[in-house]
Structure 1
Amino acid sequence: MKNNTKQAKTLIKENYAKKIYLIETDSFKHVVKEYYQHDNENIYQILLKYSHPNIVPIYKVDRDETKIIVHEKYIGDITLSDILPINNHDMLLNVLLQICDGLLFLHSHEIIHRDLKPDNIYYLNGNVIINDFDIAKIDENKHRNKDTHMFGSVGFAAPEQYGFSRTDERSDIYSFGALAQYLMTGDQNQPISKKNPLKPIVDRCMEINPDERYGDVNELKLDLERIKLGKSQYALPGFRRGIKKNKIIASIVYIIFILLVLVAEDGSEGNGPKNHLSAKIGFAFLMLPFLFIPTNYLNVHRFAPRNIKKHKFITNFMLIGMYYFLVFVILMFLSPFL
């Protein structure tokens, strides 16, 4: 039987490194990208194998003697550039949280995008879809001091993308901050109002020193979720995300903690109310790190070296040890005056 399906192939972009075609049939559209100077076939193979709602779907990856050929889903032609500035607070947070989800997926596969900007993020029926992996990399050589190639879009690329140090997931976090600012203001050079609750988050994302940024996207996402729920940054662990189960567990833990403090006593005989009160306060200070360090309250994990932050048990153990050492030093200093 003869196939009468018509197919149209339209060249929509061309430069020295690639050609992009839109392939249309009567019932289907998809995009074909032909890369002539591209060494990121492994990234597209990962995206072909795994999928995520906030990452452009890849259908097929081919290679011949001169090029890599990537077939991907057609996701329209509306990008975040077409809808900025986003003045609706809820819509803005929804967009930013979806970008976080996409980045979490990429970073879980060691993929650093390195080119987050409005033109590379599509908006389709309320869904945010990250595309354009032309300068993405696999974060595999963690011992290299800086990247061998300098890439990035001016105004969005992190300083380390210009050869100052090695790019990693914190480079995408910098770009996320620049992107968020642009989405809110519609102008890369216009700062966010100091009254905007997102300003501290954006400022932290865009710290020049990567160590001063969020350590990972999950930490960033938690802060955005807190803003979405209208919670203060000082909200106690268990009450920051508005999850009922977490609230119940946290309430039980805090009640037990208070009861333990109330029954804490100084073991010495003949001590008055002052000594008993001191015993209760001392017990509370000894127990506090077990409440707030494992839950990363006020981002205390930032004091841990970056190379161990991904190992939560070691991070918590080290920070609790640092807390007790600090308390010991303070008590030694104050002991002559007590």
Structure 2
Amino acid sequence: MTLEEHYRISFYQPVRQLGDEEHIWLTQHAENGKFYVRKELTDYNRAVYERLQQLDSSWFPHICEIAEEDGKLIVIEEYISGQTLEEYMDQSQTLTMAQTLSVMLDICQALKLLHEQTPPVIHRDIKPSNIILSVDGLWKVIDFNTARYYDASAQRDTTFLGTLEYAAPEQFGDIQTDVRTDIYAMGAMMNYLLTGRNHKKYLYEGPAGNIILKCTRFDPKLRYQSIGEFLQDLRRLPEAEKYVAQDEHIANKAESEGLIRKGKGTGMYRKKSSYYTATQRKEEKKNKHSWTFWLPPGFRTLKLWKMCVGGLFYALALYISITLEVTGSDGSSMTGTALLANRIGCWLLFFVLVLFWFNYGGVHRILPFVRKLQIGWKILGYVVWTCVIFMVIMTCVVLLSS
């Protein structure tokens, strides 16, 4: 690391560790006060990060500083405040076709830019946790720690990296990864978004299922040979028509205003996402007011009519609870601690059941039965867990009353 590099990097002061990764930190610039991410990588490809820095595309985090020290690559990049696709799936379980396409079409644009480089840049770890929805409405690709340039002279990769559920067979075999490796991951991810399941265990049906199947063929020669081919078939799906129309309209307008540099195709001057759906607008609002995620059902969207309905329901439940009269086994009315325990138990029963029924905090994702896709299992799950909640609360009430 040169003195100049050391001086520039010294402006980025550590704030806290991000996640469980010891080598990734949230930092704050000492002068402008903005937040950035600092990574210290031991297994890296500096040329890839330098290329990303040159591209400076809106599809990826902006790379601010790159330096090497003691066998490590230090990267300072833009901090993107938003929700990852994995976090979104934890709450939603599955996406509609329209929601899925809004993600896939954005990521296709990002990969198209990478694959058009000379030589092509292969990400090699496309998965929901590496896709993030920024506040400008774009689904962006992050984490290029495993990315590499395609080497036409190489027979195989020097290291086997990737995530098992989304990694193509060649990432663990005897041939080199190429653009078709990222296409495989895109197909696997698309199936997961639509079904919540691994494509090897359950494949989505219909025209979209055929696209997924072609993406995830074992033999790379049987897959789409470029992101462009994959993108064409996605745009032929009926649900994609409105996104294609929006994309053409915005692209034409941007070009007429001189916002797109002809021939570059980076999309870095894009004012607004072409696939900015209502769901993404909702997520942007959620990201700006992240505290709303922890509000009780009825208040999380901050919509007036929902808050009124929710408020009335909670007020009614509270009124019923505090006016509750309970008689004992001998017919006499309960008083004192026993009555208080029953009233509190009544309120908790109302409140906890509402939290469960409306999937507060994405709790359905971790509970048996209700996390199933089949409607029969879901109904059984609702019945079973409603009974469990009722029995637990009533048991506590009986113990406190005795």
- TMscore range, shorter length: 0.5 to 0.7
Contact 1:55 1:130 in 2 (8 A): yes
Q: CA deviation at 1:147?
A: 1.7
- SS at structure 2 position matched to 1:200: helix
TM-score, structure 1 normalization: 0.61
Residue 136 of structure 1 corresponds to 147
Of 8, 12, 24, 1:20 maps to 24
Contact 2:97 2:194 in 1 (8 A): no
Q: CA deviation at 1:20?
A: 0.7
Is 2:116 aligned against 1:105? no
Percent identity, aligned pairs only?
A: 31
Is 2:97 aligned against 1:89? yes
Q: CA deviation at 1:50?
A: 0.9
Of 219, 222, 227, 1:209 maps to 219
Contact 1:157 1:175 in 2 (8 A): yes
Question: Aligned equivalents of 1:82 and 1:14: distance in 2?
Answer: 16
Question: Aligned equivalents of 2:188 and 2:49: distance in 1?
Answer: 26
Of 202, 205, 213, 1:191 maps to 202
Alpha-carbon displacement from aligned partner over 1:288-333 (angstroms, at most 9, x marks no partner): xxxxxxxxxxxxxxxxxxxxxxxxxxxxxxxxxxxxxxxxxxxxxx
The code of the aligned residue for 2:83 comes to: I
Alpha-carbon displacement from aligned partner over 1:41-75 (angstroms, at most 9, x marks no partner): 11100011112222122111112233211111111
Residue 338 of structure 2 corresponds to none
Residue 30 of structure 1 corresponds to 36
The code of the aligned residue for 1:81 comes to: E
Which structure has more relative contact order (CA 8 Å, sep 6+)? It is 2
Q: CA deviation at 1:242?
A: 7.0
State how many pairs are aligned.
Answer: 226
Superposition pairs of residues 1-338 of structure 1, within 5 angstroms: 9-13=15-19, 19-24=23-28, 27-35=33-41, 37-76=42-81, 78-84=83-89, 85-109=93-117, 110-125=120-135, 126-139=137-150, 141-188=151-198, 191-195=202-206, 197-228=207-238
- SS at structure 1 position matched to 2:163: coil
Alpha-carbon displacement from aligned partner over 1:184-230 (angstroms, at most 9, x marks no partner): 112226523423x3111100000000000001001111111111566
Question: Aligned equivalents of 1:13 and 1:41: distance in 2?
Answer: 24
Change (3 A) 1:192 1:127: same
User: More helix per residue: 1 or 2?
Assistant: 2
The code of the aligned residue for 2:144 comes to: F
Question: Aligned equivalents of 2:163 and 2:189: distance in 1?
Answer: 11
Q: CA deviation at 1:24?
A: 3.2
Aligned-residue Cα RMSD (Å) equals 2.6
Question: Aligned equivalents of 1:228 and 1:127: distance in 2?
Answer: 22
Question: Aligned equivalents of 2:144 and 2:195: distance in 1?
Answer: 26
Q: Which runs of 5+ in 2 are unaligned?
A: 1-10, 249-402
Question: Aligned equivalents of 1:117 and 1:87: distance in 2?
Answer: 15
- SS at structure 2 position matched to 1:198: helix
Q: Which runs of 5+ in 1 are unaligned?
A: 232-240, 246-338
Q: CA deviation at 1:143?
A: 2.8
Q: CA deviation at 1:144?
A: 2.3
Q: CA deviation at 1:86?
A: 4.3
Question: Aligned equivalents of 1:132 and 1:8: distance in 2?
Answer: 19
